[in-house]
Amino acid sequence: MPDLDFTTVRVQDVSRTYGRRRALAHVSLEAQAGRVLGLFGPNGAGKSTLLNILATLLRPSAGKVLYGTHASETAGDVLRASIGVLGHDLYLYPDLTAAENLAFFGRLYGVPDLDARVAECLTLARLTDRADDRSGGFSRGLRQRLALERALIHRPRLVLLDEPFTGLDDASAHILIARLRTLAADGAIVIMATHDFDTAETLVDDAVCIDRGRAFPIVAGSGSLRDRYRLALQETR
């Protein structure tokens, strides 16, 4: 499937309600190729809702998202083929081996030269020696690495990650940070939701605070990410 050419994603005045509950209110932000954007905020702030809208899995109640010049409503399947998502749920089949899990998703996306690409993904996941083991027997860190390469098997331009550090030990977190930096360096747009400031500190290029459905920029500058986040929050309350 051909994919779309875009180097920016713009969220424009997006709101989303679930029944009477407002999960997002007039959110605007921009993400760029080559950069990692962090979405920070407490539980229930609206981060996952925003990621699901960016993934085109959920529609905004108002406002729009532009992928380059393309709107999600008109770009459809071609746009979806340019997006990779790693959510809370890793969507691995425990009875399939690491290689089989990758091949299964690769076929769904119509990835060319699939055998070679699966081998490449196993190398990137550092799982070559576990290729023929069932993913159900893997530790959280190994499953996470496999799920990430599964989400990237079709070389998406936009990579969305929801709380990717959950359940990872320090070593696994560092491997993930390095992988996401490489992705951005290779030109992907990376957007990640997390409440883990310390882990994300060295990773993110841009940061936005999501609080009760509203988005505020966390300005670059001196002080830790956590301190600058607190400042952004204070100014909104």
- Is residue 38 near ligand ADP by the rule CB under 6 A? no
The stretch among 43-51, 79-87, 104-112, 220-228 that binds ligand ADP (CB under 6 A) is: 43-51
Distance separating alpha carbons of residues 235 and 237, to the nearest angstrom: 6
- Is residue 47 near ligand ADP by the rule CB under 6 A? yes
Applying CB under 6 A, among 9, 14, 29, 45 the residue interacting with ligand ADP is: 45
Applying CB under 5 A, among 39, 45, 48, 191 the residue interacting with Mg ion is: 48
- Is residue 137 near ligand ADP by the rule CB under 6 A? no
Please answer whether residues 154 and 4 qualify as being in contact, where contact means their C-beta atoms are separated by less than 8 angstroms: no
Closest residue to Mg ion using C-beta atoms = 48
Alpha helices in 55-153 (DSSP H): 72-80, 98-108, 114-124, 140-152
For 142-176, give the DSSP string. HHHHHHHHHHHTT--SEEEEESTTTT--HHHHHHH
- Is residue 23 near ligand ADP by the rule CB under 6 A? yes
The stretch among 44-52, 77-85, 98-106, 136-144 that binds ligand ADP (CB under 6 A) is: 44-52
Q: How far is the CB of 82 from ligand ADP (least distance, A)?
A: 23
For residue 227, the one-letter residue type is D
Q: What are phi and psi for residue 57, nearest 5 degrees?
A: -85, -15
Q: How far is the CB of 22 from ligand ADP (least distance, A)?
A: 8
Using CB under 6 A as the binding criterion, the count of chain residues that bind ligand ADP stands at 11
Using CB under 5 A as the binding criterion, the count of chain residues that bind Mg ion stands at 2
Long-range contacts of 57-62 (CB under 8 A, 24+ apart): 57/85, 58/16, 60/14, 60/15, 60/16, 60/24, 61/15, 61/16, 61/17, 62/13, 62/14, 62/15
- Is residue 44 near ligand ADP by the rule CB under 6 A? yes
- Is residue 18 near ligand ADP by the rule CB under 6 A? yes
Contact positions vs ligand ADP (CB under 6 A): 18, 21, 23, 41, 43-49
